[in-house]
A and B are shown apart, each in its own frame.
Chain A
Amino acid sequence: MPPKPQNFKNPIIWFFVSLVVLWAAPLFLPTFYIYLITEILIVSLFAVSTNVLLGFTGLLSFGQVAFFGSSAYAVSLLIKGTSLPFAASFFLSVGISTLAALIIGLFCMRLRGFYFAILTLAFSQIFFVVVYKWTSLTGGDDGIVGIPKKPFLFFDINGADAYYHFVMFVVMVSLALLYLIIRSPLGEVLQAIRDNSERTEFLGLQVRNYRLASFVIAGTFGGVAGALFAPFQGIVTPELLHWSHSAEPLMISLLGGMYFFFGPIAGAVIFVFIKEWITGFTEYWMFWYGLLLMLLIMYLPGGIMGFVSEHLKRGKDDSR
């Protein structure tokens, strides 16, 4: 049974404090860490958006790369192939993800559990095949290389620090929006569906439509993450759309705690640092990551946040 989400106090203050701290980070951190934090921010947004489905609606989608990847490809093609300003390319690409999520979502809503997971996976693999095979448009196996960081509106975002500030701003706004959605009546209904969909249906709510809304929200913000990712890496390849890549945000949510809004963010921090740390002395970091996840599912299915909050609660009970 998922724990009751604890409303955390003064979210607005926290939002501005983290905004200021993150904004100032390049002043005291070397470029390498700025690069890492940029990656963490993008991965966090992808994971939090996926977790809207996994943790807050109770739907396991193995196809989220379809939205991340289609927007990453769309933004790359628009930047390289047209003279549109970056802001227009950016929002157009996110729009493509939203549309894709709406269309795929309409099909997927009739299934649950394992079958839903495989259906979303199959749809995302069709995206993969199209990108992989449509060589004249997408460059096929070689992907699209040399994606420049064009100015966003009046802001020059070329360079590690400048692009970091851009990513930070977009991710923070997106996370704030997602937080508001999860705390809104819509978010409450989604969590009710997760806990007991029949009972929610009996209340007269159209479970199907709410699930679809959740799917479109997840796809849209996955698309935002994808559109940020392409210029960050400067390259997109079909591998980005392969189904095994869909597991990444799921694993990160699980690692951090999928019943917590901030779980996937904690998970993303740990994931990126583990990757950097273990790759320092072995290239076989996936083994250790897999082992960690296996042990986590066996002993701490609530993830890191679940473990921490349980201990905090226990501490409080003891002191009473």
Chain B
Amino acid sequence: MLAELPITDIAQLLTRQLSAIVRDIAWVRPEICVFAFLILLVLADLIFKKQRGWLLSVLAILGLVATLLTLVQQWQLTHDQPHTSLLLNMLQLDRLGIYFKLLICSSALFTVLVSINYTTAASTKTSTFANFHIESLRKIGEYYSVLFGVVLGAMLLTMSTHLLMIYLAIELISISSYILTNFNFNRASAEASIKYVLFGGVSSGIMLYGMSLLYGLTGSLVISQPGFYEAIAAAAPLLVTIASVFTISGFLFKISSVPFHLWAPDIYEGAPTPIAAFFSIVPKAAAFVVLMRFIVVFFAETTIPWQAILAVLALVTIVIGNFVALWQKNAKRMMAYSSIAHSGFVLTGVLSYNNLGMTSVAFYMSVYALMNLAIFLIINMISRKTGAEEIGQYRGLGLQYPWIGILALVVLISLTGLPPTAGFTAKLLVFSSLWQAYQASNNTMLFILLIAGLFNTVISLFYYLKIPYYMFFKKAETSSVQSEFNNFRERKTKQVVYKTKFNLFDKILAFVLIIPLVILFFQSSWLIELISTISFEF
């Protein structure tokens, strides 16, 4: 295109574009902030070789707080403009993106706060796993900077409307995640990391192929422009299907939806616990935003029943996530399957494709972030204290430490989706939007999803309740009159009575995460009020 223009026009074009880029730089301040602190973290890590653990943590916290402040400022500035294109249509600034960026940064902040303890407490050598905890302490600088890499990628992904930008952002998330997975520095962690690389590589390859097909069909890479849908609507349905399915598989991989969910359990189990919580929220939130933006493309092509197909996908995701979770014995692995099921619920909100659905996705993801951070924090607290990650080893903990038991119970009730917790409100909104979608389209598949999705609550109750079941119903000490065989089996899961107390800082964090879960049930309007100012027309 440039070659046909005279040189003066090119010069003019370039200056115009350059000045546009310079003008837009102010709008990517949060991303610049994250990037700057990423560099700072690397430098600080290099300079202060010795006593730097606390310094790096402070730096990471500062960075995220600064980013959050710039985001809040952006939120206030965008109250009257629905969306602005930035950097030559590469990114789009709107409240949807900012909302999710706030969510991402807050989750990252909590992850850092949890990680401080994860690393320092282990250095006392009390834990049997001390050696690799110390290893990770020595690498805390890398840990934080790679974490910032994921945050940066996720933030960019929430704003991307350009296929190339989407790809780059996803790759940034993926590559940083591969490294983070290995930060336990043991065999399981390394294996998880390699699995993640293999699955991730294949899925991003498929996605890139799909994107190139889309580009071939439309001649454009910007999904937010009307020309893009028009070209899609005009193209042959079969080709569009193939291209869209390939592209979407990359997103589905990130949200760990069936059939791209196989990586999740191994990675959650192998990765450090704070990172598992982080993985279950941040990349997923970002991928859901891009999916919400991309789904418009689907619905532009009307000959294929996209809604029904996505409904089947959501249903299968919910069912498989919940049923496989039933058989899990490891708490982190169980939570991995639970988070797969939750992806199905959020996907339900996305496929409803109405305003209420989008609102419910934003609400659900916020509540989900609170729940997952909280439950992984509790798992982490317990495993640091007792070394237990198997649910069977939780016996008697609730009676010994009632507060921890009650907190865990509230989170699990919320994860199940029962009142009086925000998890219920989130499910109510998602399924209301689905009811609305069914009323509008009369698509039987949506009704089946409604019924089956809600009844899955019962299945999920069964495995979530396992944790309070062991915590409260099982005694820590077992009676002496038992058969040899039973004694042998009991010995493996028998609980030692621990004298030390839980870390006060962790307890406060848990309260900070869990109290909103109850408040957001009784006053859900506070959050909905915020979300309702987001415009869902892209």
Do the two chains belong together in a single complex? Answer: no
